[in-house]
Structure 1
């Protein structure tokens, strides 16, 4: 599923931009929904709430959306009122049975749907029965305090036999209006050092950090929010020239993602290397002493760049911090000692709190998923 440290014949990944958590509950508003999509977006998912009657008509809206928005890939999914926690998006690869699988999951296991029997083990077993090439991906949504716990996330991963559970929303959706504490990038459970994401990295295998809009077109007459891709969006690493659903799902499953708020940082590469051996985001480094490098261009001044993780298997935290940086090209480095075990990821905070109008003034960040270090694999 992921590459171990090895000689790369592809160079840095090419990054596609996506939004896997959006809503439209009125088919008559599909045109308005399309008008709100950022032109830089490469893929998106329609993920209506599984307990609502309109969800079971979503296949009609997905079909129309695919006809109207041809600039990128449209995926179909469900925002599942998941057993044991809050919401989770389950997104399906495009195929003839995508809607049937989503509807069966909701009818069987949504904790807010009458007649369903919410159960983690049974729900995951049903998803695993889908043929491998059509299996969905699952991510944990808006992990604000009280929504998800490390133990519950671990339970989902324990009962996942088929690379279904792939990550979590690192930052909250609904960034276009005042979300209070959900904007605090130092304490939000999805992105804080030592939080839920870091607990997942201390478990097993890669884990994708994601950012989604949670856009609801049907609420825009009373509550402004950013459309898909305008602010929160996910970067997925693919081989240059690839744009297929298969490539996107492979990147998500490999932990080859970044979570972005705004479009002020262009990632060039995040890698650990020594000689000909290279491990990039989502990979596992197994080749001893090395140097990590984070290379990017930023169109806004930076407040801080934090290297987050653990190099000795201990409690994760901020390993090193780099202070304010000007607009321009940056290459930051960190030594990786021989015998390092744990993981390494990055958090970048813009010095500007300006967001696209008419949105509010608030912090904004960029977060890489982790490179794993040998002992956690």
Structure 2
């Protein structure tokens, strides 16, 4: 560019489309996201636009209602092109009699919000570029606006939800986070009646902080205890304290609020995402599994202390160095125990067998976490008598 001359700043067609959505985003009511998507797709020459949201059970993709959007029945994630797009987090194009239908993942920080679908007479690389960017903007809008409305909760809810489950879902961070050095993916079962299980994570600079808890009991009592435990964990973590101090703070909070007969098992970890150096503290919780080269290699055993609320001794730190591609499976005891009278425990051996099989599929951590949870539920006869929660952490190096 010649000195003193300014670059061309005129608005291209694609920039105009994105700019119009951005200009309206700040004051856009949640229920108008769908109509805005439909308008943009029409101006691009698209037909039959859909925004599909994942249900809480992670079984279905449910159409978002809105003027200009196409209705339809929910689509099975495991048996549809939209589901394939959702699981692999990549666009999927499907030839049709009147053109090409493209499905695009709605991604926000690696979390999978849902899928956007639209049909064109034909698609070229310019269309793909603009659609990919529009999908990213739509995902951001959905994540931002969900706090203002019950609309998206209603769409995603496939059956009545207990009050305890409402509380637990409101506590959770996004179910997945995919970053260059580290990835996290979790799932809660039973989705509509979970009570005492929860997890939390935060990526602060180069350090990933993770906690998984299991509050004793069921129903509102367990959900309330889990709320206090997670709140105490976040408070201590944000104060910059170490894992032993975090345990002590959580322990005092639960004991002071609920008394000596109540407890929460907990597992807290810190992972340096630059080096793979892992530290953890175990407070009466099932030990995580290390998955290396697509197989369960070992359990993260080490010194343990009493569950949170029982006033245990200061926990000892356990440490190890991860290798690139290692995955950690954290879980609650409901994943391996069956409490119905006369039934055998599902057991760790069966869990390990399924982990070994599913990790070999080559799919991303989010798809593996979902498949593992659903496979284990089917293996238990389609039900669980206790909360069954899992969280996968992958060090990508």
Q: Normalized against structure 2, the TM-score is what?
A: 0.30
Larger Cα-atom Rg = 2
Taking structure 1 as the reference length, what is the TM-score of the superposition? 0.32
